[in-house]
Amino acid sequence: MRAVYRVLAMLIAIGVVVQAAAIAYALFDILHKTDDGQVFTKDSDNAGIVVHAVVGEMIVPLICLLLLIVSFFAGIPGGVKWAAITFGVMVLQIVLAFVGFPVPILGTLHAINAFVLAAVASIAMRQSRVAGTPQASTPVAA
């Protein structure tokens, strides 16, 4: 279960990278198309926005939920705590995304919080590695 916990935490961090790449692609695609004279509207097709929405609203939240569930069975000291923090940061991420639509300046907090999500997922991943490492034995005085 420790390995599953570690892989799930790693997938969350990777998901943040995919999210950043997808939204960057979306912006550059919009800029490229508008430079060529096309008009971009809410109904315009943009693969980057679609990927960002699917990964951010479905895949990463599902992985965060699985991490939280697995944390109860993994036997990792502090594992439940870091899985819960990761889940909470992910919930905040979704809230910030929806708040960012009517108040775009708050979208910057959505971007900043993405780095927090990657960080806490990385800490959870590290926690599982530390928990699996055997403790160095102290030498017994002869």
Do the Cβ atoms of 83 and 61 come closer than 8 Å?
Answer: no
Confidence of residue 142 (pLDDT cuts 50, 70, 90): low
* Average pLDDT value for residue range 120-125: 96
Under DSSP, the state recorded for 133 is: S
Range with the lowest mean pLDDT among 1-5, 41-45, 64-68, 138-142? 138-142
Is residue 103 exposed (0-12), middle (13-18) or buried (19+ Cβ within 10 Å)? Answer: exposed
- The residue ranges of every structural domain in the chain are 2-132
With a CB cutoff of 8 Å and minimum separation 6, the contacts of 134 are none
Q: How far apart are CA 109 and CA 106, in angstroms?
A: 5
Where helices occur in 36-139 by DSSP H, the ranges are 47-54, 60-74, 79-100, 107-132
What's the pLDDT score for residue 39? 85
Q: How far apart are CA 3 and CA 1, in angstroms?
A: 5
Confidence of residue 132 (pLDDT cuts 50, 70, 90): low
Range with the lowest mean pLDDT among 8-17, 26-35, 55-64, 107-116? 26-35
With a CB cutoff of 8 Å and minimum separation 6, the contacts of 93 are 56, 110, 113, 114, 117
What's the pLDDT score for residue 133? 61
* Average pLDDT value for residue range 16-25: 96
Q: Which residue matches tokens 């991943």?
A: 125
Q: How far apart are CA 25 and CA 22, in angstroms?
A: 5
What's the pLDDT score for residue 138? 53
What's the pLDDT score for residue 42? 75
Range with the lowest mean pLDDT among 27-31, 48-52, 129-133? 129-133
44-101 confidence digits (pLDDT tens): 889 999 999 999 999 999 999 999 999 999 999 999 999 999 999 999 999 999 999 9
Per the prediction, the chain carries an average pLDDT of: 90
Q: Report residue 11: phi and psi, to 5°.
A: -65, -35
